[in-house]
Structure 1
Amino acid sequence: MLGIERRRKIMEKLNEHKKVYVQDLSQLFDVTDETIRRDLEKLEQQNLVKRCYGGAVINDHTSQDISFFKRIGINSVGKNYIAKKAEFLINDGDTLMVDASTTCLALLHHLKHKKNLTIITNSIRVINEFVNSDFNIISTGGNLRSHSYALTGAVACDTIQKYFVDTVIIGCKALDIKKGLMESNEPESIIKRQMIEQAQKCILLADSSKFDKIAFTRTCDLSQVDYIVTDKEPNPEWLEFIKSNDIKIIY
């Protein structure tokens, strides 16, 4: 097994149990304790874990895969503010791809007055909440991640690849100038990546808590984003980066 694959499985264990032990991992992967210690050191350098005596614990603030119901209650004021700002980027007749993030859900509630919107989504919450709306909704289908109400996997990706849209609207777990957009889990990261490929324009909805954070898996470079809509003005380094990369920011 390659080291990168082993570290990915270690992170899966950490997401489930919050703590791992060197001896248990060395037996599980049939490698030496020293190999596991090097793996944990690399994960710590990425700010994903904190090493402790005999093992490591997860950095919850960056890598925890928080459930949909917990996420929907986090910074609801900021999400609603972002949704109001992003509303004006969407026009009547637009075709959209929308991920399963809670901020995207908030935005759709502000778009109900728009006419002839087509929405392709992997969110079963969106399908449920807007079943009686005037939106033309296309579900990706796929494997259900009940933890986040998101459809993922090969079927979802195949559906997404069939369509080309005006705009993709996504959220993220973390945002870093050098590392780009990141997610807490790979299945949803893959879906977001595929959606971006199918859209002419990409809108990222990210509240200020997501900036300068690290999460488990990389989604894409910031160069693939056209608009960032957030709730507070970023620091000067971010503003300079955004300007130099021809990204438009709204706050």
Structure 2
Amino acid sequence: MSLVGEERKQIILNLLQLQGKVRTLELVTKFEVSSETIRRYLEELESTNKLKRVYGGAIKINVDREEPSFFNREVKQAAEKRLIGQAAAALVQDKDIVILDDGTTTLQMVDILVLKKGLTVLVSSVYTLNMLIAYKNQGIFDGEIVFIGGRVNAKHYRTSGSLAKHFMANFHVDKAFLVADGLNLDGSVTSYDDERGMLSRMFMKQAKQTIVLADHTKIGTNHYCRIADMGEVDIVVSNIAPPPEWQLLLDDKGLHWIVAT
């Protein structure tokens, strides 16, 4: 395979990462080559398990069917998550009441949030709870901490399930910060886990504003549980700009996309 061919295959993989799927006719136009050439590229990529060919093109392979453990998630895309967390924290005002969804990206918000005045922070993550308690005991954080009670998921150090949903139904908040496991071109926000996904849905219901945090690996990815339609989200914070193909959808939904830099 020529260098040009390898470069084209990498472009195809990049498009899959962003869009979740590619179409043969669109690739023919983009690269100005024959459909037979595109078919060969897709066959070669499929042979190395980089994608799955379907009628008219190819789709992204979702390798991870099970949510990685907290410790594995913590080290993945750490720099990107730090930028996203900082940009998300900047959206919080003094005296806000906010929910921080379980996730290693929302965890990155804490160092900035504790410097704000008079916050009330609701959390379902044991790690986030411990960080806030430590800052509170050091006299750095002057706000209130509410831990969302429920069934404990020991692997992921969080609460979820019907008890947590019932608990959350008693609160109304200004902003809910959710961590998406997947954002797809069909306009859906998805999660690996149905109990976590349903609790995230309750967070949205009880919030005036919903902000979704998603690094570039989540864009174009679809998972088991659908949390919400993109039209129900107010803001997305990511480390990359949205794919150009998404712009019409975002405009139609009135969704604001912030690129963390």
- The TM-score, its normalising length taken from structure 1, stands at 0.74
Task: Kindly name which structure, 1 or 2, has the bigger radius of gyration based on alpha carbons.
Answer: 2
- In the alignment, is the contact (CA less than 8 A) between 1:62 and 1:213 conserved in 2? no
Q: What is aligned with 2:170? A: 162
- Tell me the distance in 1 between the aligned counterparts of 2:189 and 2:85: 19
- Tell me the distance in 1 between the aligned counterparts of 2:214 and 2:151: 26
Q: Please say which of residues 166-175 and 106-115 is displaced more in the overlay.
A: 106-115
How far does residue 60 in structure 1 lie from its aligned partner after superposition?
5.6
How far does residue 62 in structure 1 lie from its aligned partner after superposition?
4.4
How far does residue 240 in structure 1 lie from its aligned partner after superposition?
2.6
CA displacement 1:127-179 (0-9 Å, x = unmatched): 11111322311111111111111101222111100001000001011111215
1:111 aligns with 2:119: no
Alignment of 1:90-239 (within 5 A): 90-132=92-134, 133=136, 134=141, 135-178=143-186, 180-239=188-247
Of 66, 69, 94, which residue of structure 1 is paired with 2:68?
A: 66
- In the alignment, is the contact (CA less than 8 A) between 1:208 and 1:234 conserved in 2? no
How far does residue 184 in structure 1 lie from its aligned partner after superposition?
0.6
Unpaired runs of 5+ in structure 2? 1-51, 53-60
Unpaired runs of 5+ in structure 1? 1-49, 51-58
AA of the residue aligned to 2:87: K
- Tell me the distance in 1 between the aligned counterparts of 2:187 and 2:251: 17
Q: What is aligned with 2:86? A: 84
- In the alignment, is the contact (CA less than 8 A) between 1:140 and 1:155 conserved in 2? no
How far does residue 70 in structure 1 lie from its aligned partner after superposition?
0.3
- In the alignment, is the contact (CA less than 8 A) between 2:110 and 2:131 conserved in 1? no
Q: What is the RMSD of the two structures over their aligned residues, measured on CA atoms?
A: 1.5
Q: Aligned residues, how many?
A: 194
CA displacement 1:90-122 (0-9 Å, x = unmatched): 100000111111101111222121111101111
CA displacement 1:49-95 (0-9 Å, x = unmatched): x9xxxxxxxx6634221111100100001001111222221100000
How far does residue 199 in structure 1 lie from its aligned partner after superposition?
0.2
CA displacement 1:180-200 (0-9 Å, x = unmatched): 011111110011000000000
